[in-house]
Structure 1
Amino acid sequence: MGLLHYLSLLSCLHLLPPSFVASSPVPDPELVVQEVNEKINASRRNLGVLSCGNGNPIDDCWRCDPHWEKNRQRLADCAIGFGKHAIGGRDGKIYVVTDPTDKDPVNPKPGTLRHAVIQDEPLWIIFARDMVIKLKEELIMNSFKTIDGRGSSVHIAGGACVTIQYVTNIIIHGINVHDCKRAGNTYVRDSPSHYGWRTASDGDAISIFGGSHVWVDHCSLSNCQDGLIDAIHGSTAITISNNYMTHHNKVMLLGHSDSYTRDKNMQVTIAFNHFGEGLVQRMPRCRHGYFHVVNNDYTHWQMYAIGGSAAPTINSQGNRFLAPNDRVFKEVTKYEDAPQSEWKKWNWRSEGDMFLNGAFFTASGKAASSSYAKASSLAARPSTLVASVTANAGALVCKKGSRC
């Protein structure tokens, strides 16, 4: 196996030696290869790491509790970043989804996920067992809802997916969303008292449209027709954390269009995510607003990792960027739809990032600009700890009666 392939695999494994973490921001490749040689074939998903105090502030808040299933709503107090005030259904009842079907989007059956998310009162939604939910139409969520997949293997796949439109206080945690398709041109219910006509959807895994106080955490997302997570039309106060994203082209769009200036108020934190194999671009692609990209692990991109247009402020801190072997696509950043005379004034900064295999970040703007402060939402950990804080990104395997 070649050295570069080893390094690529290392970024998916929590196998960095203590000597590396303590002493050097960039590992000696030969030493690392030697130390993990006997373990390199182990799957990232089968390591079974039960971590307490690993430096991930979200996980350290709740994952050490062996009775997490009795204290589910405590999760709402663990959010960080711009979406830290998203409480979801913390103050409501537990709703147990027992039926994976989605036969009638206008008159959903009690016990289904669609019936749960349209209710007017706050609800903390959990699942009775493992299930695959193939949505007939977009899942139009109402405010103050949590979808909590812990304890079950929950897949929303093969049909329409999740829409957070003009609502607030949403938490989506611990589910798998993949293979989403376009839907629409039909009626869909969005509350007990209202249903309306939906035009064609884009095929996003999670679409945030005019939403606020939204937290997407520990989800596994892949292979959808449009974006994995898109936030547009005045959406703000969003945290996207601990997610595992793979096999997709346009990963994350934040900002509707260059001309839609309402997105100047957008604030998004992107933290502790693993951007994994088969990704092409938009991790994220930003417009207008303020974006804090902190302590993520980038192990694959085919065009670029972080891009944008319309003068967004991007604060990249403590990330690890492993460039692809292709010599053409080593640059992390992509300035779009503007000449250099314009984009050199945009405020894009890299601080404490780790660059491997030739990766590089093209910064712009003034280092002392106050806009950088507006794009800072939490303290970054050193990039040498990225392997630890992102080791369990994606939907977790949680069993009742033990730490998750």
Structure 2
Amino acid sequence: MANPSFFLFFFFLLVVTSSARAPPQDPELIVKELEREINGSRRELGYLSCGTGNPIDDCWRCDPNWEANRQRLADCAYGFGKNALGGKNGKTYVVTDSGDDDPVNPKPGTLRYAVIQNEPLWIIFARDMVIQLKEELIMNSYKTIDGRGASVHIANGPCITIQYVTNIIIHGVHIHDCKQGGNTYVRDSPEHYGYRTISDGDGVSIFGSSHIWVDHCSLSNCHDGLIDAIHGSTAITISNNYMTHHDKVMLLGHSDSYTQDKDMQVTIAFNHFGEGLVQRMPRCRHGYFHVVNNDYTHWEMYAIGGSAAPTINSQGNRFLAPDNTFSKEVTKREDAPESQWSHWNWRSEGDLMLNGAFFTPSGGGASSSYAKAYSLSARPSSLVGTITTYAGALNCRKGSRC
């Protein structure tokens, strides 16, 4: 059974989501309330534990009947994106056609046809397939893309756009070699299609959207970012992903002048930032970012950066610095002199620094009671290797545990 204190943190996030800057309550009262909520939730979900220490995986992966209980996954998120429903309680839609011949009039059976529908859908795949999209895949609200049970690649064309929608889950797919698209018409609902200008070429682009969860995906080598969240997006969890071979990995916050991103709240947990990565794991602006129990085994410039006074709480991560003596620092402040960034609240707690890695903290820090409550958040950094062993798209097969 995973350490119960680990689960307390993620329910605690729900307390702070509504007001991340509110004065902290007595941590002992918080813990008692969270224990009550956790016990109730476990009874409701029939809680499973594989003993990995990864609460998301322990919620569903040890069930050999996962294929018959796919929508259970929607109950397993943690962090700020915990309430992302995806297509929960909707019909199951099976993608049978890997084509994308007409982005304005998509054929039934294609992924594009599924994601633009108005009703909640849990989207799965009939077989292994590579989907080369002609244009951005513009999603409608309340959709889950669930790649478990098949090897699904969205690659070699424009990729996923989550724009002005809510409640999206992307799970278990390979997203790579994403290109720019645009200067054409694309449908985003059964009733509407519109003209799209040139897209950024992200793997997953989150724009003005909320309650988003990207989990157990493998991402690499896209034109711009692997996962970017901008323009007031919030309530996001990015977890259990394996990211490789890319320059600007993850941008969270549109620009220094776009102050609406002050409400952005993102949890980045249990990911493996692997070979061939350069920077932005993530790069943050304005909002609140919790970076917990991730494994950083490669960066060429820096791991975590930001500008415009974001709050960054780094806990229980493992940072392996490159051999390059000029890139040992985990952190990078941009577009501000030290007289300004010295007041930004960037904290490191329980992080493991290897090969000369170092994190430069700043800001006055939280109160001692707030820090005490947050000390429940992360497993020890020495366990990160175990927690992130299965980051990325899983090889799930019907009738056995993933």
**TM-score (norm: length of structure 1):** 0.86
In the alignment, the residues of structure 2 paired with residue 398 and residue 53 of structure 1 have an alpha-carbon distance, to the nearest angstrom, of 18
SS in 1 for 2:157: coil
Residue identity opposite 2:219 in structure 1: L
1:40-79 equivalent positions in 2, closer than 5 A: 52-79=50-77
Corresponding residue of 1:215: 213
Corresponding residue of 1:359: 357
What percent of counterpart residues are identical?
82
In the alignment, the residues of structure 2 paired with residue 299 and residue 378 of structure 1 have an alpha-carbon distance, to the nearest angstrom, of 25
Task: Describe the superposition over 1:274-295 as per-residue Cα deviations: whole angstroms up to 9, x where unpaired.
Answer: 0000000000000000000000
In the alignment, the residues of structure 2 paired with residue 52 and residue 135 of structure 1 have an alpha-carbon distance, to the nearest angstrom, of 37
In the alignment, the residues of structure 1 paired with residue 60 and residue 293 of structure 2 have an alpha-carbon distance, to the nearest angstrom, of 19
1:224-235 equivalent positions in 2, closer than 5 A: 224-235=222-233
Corresponding residue of 2:135: 137
In the alignment, the residues of structure 2 paired with residue 88 and residue 357 of structure 1 have an alpha-carbon distance, to the nearest angstrom, of 40
Corresponding residue of 1:302: 300
Indicate conservation of the 8 Å contact 1:264/1:289, yes or no: yes
SS in 2 for 1:293: strand
Task: Describe the superposition over 1:32-56 as per-residue Cα deviations: whole angstroms up to 9, x where unpaired.
Answer: xxxxxxxxxxxxxxxxxxx921100
Indicate conservation of the 8 Å contact 1:290/1:313, yes or no: yes
> What displacement does 1:377 show?
11
> What displacement does 1:367 show?
2.0
> What displacement does 1:120 show?
0.1
Alignment match of 1:325 (pick from 315, 318, 323): 323
Residue identity opposite 2:227 in structure 1: I
Residue identity opposite 1:343 in structure 2: W
Alignment CA distance shift 1:378-1:132 (3 Å): farther
In the alignment, the residues of structure 1 paired with residue 365 and residue 188 of structure 2 have an alpha-carbon distance, to the nearest angstrom, of 45
Is residue 117 from structure 1 mapped to residue 120 from structure 2 by the alignment?
no
Corresponding residue of 1:261: 259
Corresponding residue of 2:86: 88
> What displacement does 1:199 show?
0.6
Task: Describe the superposition over 1:5-64 as per-residue Cα deviations: whole angstroms up to 9, x where unpaired.
Answer: xxxxxxxxxxxxxxxxxxxxxxxxxxxxxxxxxxxxxxxxxxxxxx92110000000000
Residue identity opposite 1:136 in structure 2: K
Indicate conservation of the 8 Å contact 1:217/1:243, yes or no: yes
SS in 1 for 2:383: helix
Corresponding residue of 1:180: 178
Residue identity opposite 2:109 in structure 1: G
In the alignment, the residues of structure 1 paired with residue 375 and residue 185 of structure 2 have an alpha-carbon distance, to the nearest angstrom, of 39
Task: Describe the superposition over 1:344-378 as per-residue Cα deviations: whole angstroms up to 9, x where unpaired.
Answer: 000000000000000000000012259x87x9698
Alignment CA distance shift 1:272-1:377 (3 Å): farther
Which of structure 1's runs of 4+ aligned residues deviate more than 6 A?
A: 375-378
Alignment CA distance shift 1:85-1:163 (3 Å): same
Alignment CA distance shift 1:308-1:376 (3 Å): farther
SS in 2 for 1:342: helix
Corresponding residue of 2:332: 334
Alignment match of 2:395 (pick from 394, 397, 400): 397
1:218-297 equivalent positions in 2, closer than 5 A: 218-297=216-295
Task: Describe the superposition over 1:157-202 as per-residue Cα deviations: whole angstroms up to 9, x where unpaired.
Answer: 0000000000000000000000000000100000000000001000
Indicate conservation of the 8 Å contact 1:315/1:376, yes or no: no
Task: Describe the superposition over 1:204-247 as per-residue Cα deviations: whole angstroms up to 9, x where unpaired.
Answer: 00000001000000000000000000000000000000000000
Residues matched between the structures, number = 353
Is residue 105 from structure 1 mapped to residue 103 from structure 2 by the alignment?
yes
SS in 2 for 1:58: helix
SS in 2 for 1:328: coil
SS in 2 for 1:291: strand
Corresponding residue of 1:9: none
In the alignment, the residues of structure 2 paired with residue 257 and residue 136 of structure 1 have an alpha-carbon distance, to the nearest angstrom, of 29
Corresponding residue of 2:152: 154
SS in 1 for 2:326: helix
Residue identity opposite 1:155 in structure 2: H
Residue identity opposite 1:227 in structure 2: G
Residue identity opposite 2:284 in structure 1: C
Residue identity opposite 2:292 in structure 1: V
In the alignment, the residues of structure 2 paired with residue 379 and residue 148 of structure 1 have an alpha-carbon distance, to the nearest angstrom, of 28
Query: What RMSD over aligned residues (CA atoms) do the two structures have, in Å?
Result: 1.6
The answer for unaligned runs of 5 or more in structure 1 is 1-50
Residue identity opposite 2:67 in structure 1: E
Alignment CA distance shift 1:334-1:313 (3 Å): same
In the alignment, the residues of structure 1 paired with residue 133 and residue 379 of structure 2 have an alpha-carbon distance, to the nearest angstrom, of 39
Indicate conservation of the 8 Å contact 1:82/1:377, yes or no: no
Corresponding residue of 2:377: 379
Is residue 197 from structure 1 mapped to residue 189 from structure 2 by the alignment?
no
SS in 2 for 1:70: helix
Residue identity opposite 1:363 in structure 2: P
SS in 1 for 2:229: strand
In the alignment, the residues of structure 1 paired with residue 377 and residue 130 of structure 2 have an alpha-carbon distance, to the nearest angstrom, of 37
In the alignment, the residues of structure 1 paired with residue 376 and residue 120 of structure 2 have an alpha-carbon distance, to the nearest angstrom, of 28
Residue identity opposite 1:292 in structure 2: H
In the alignment, the residues of structure 2 paired with residue 185 and residue 269 of structure 1 have an alpha-carbon distance, to the nearest angstrom, of 34
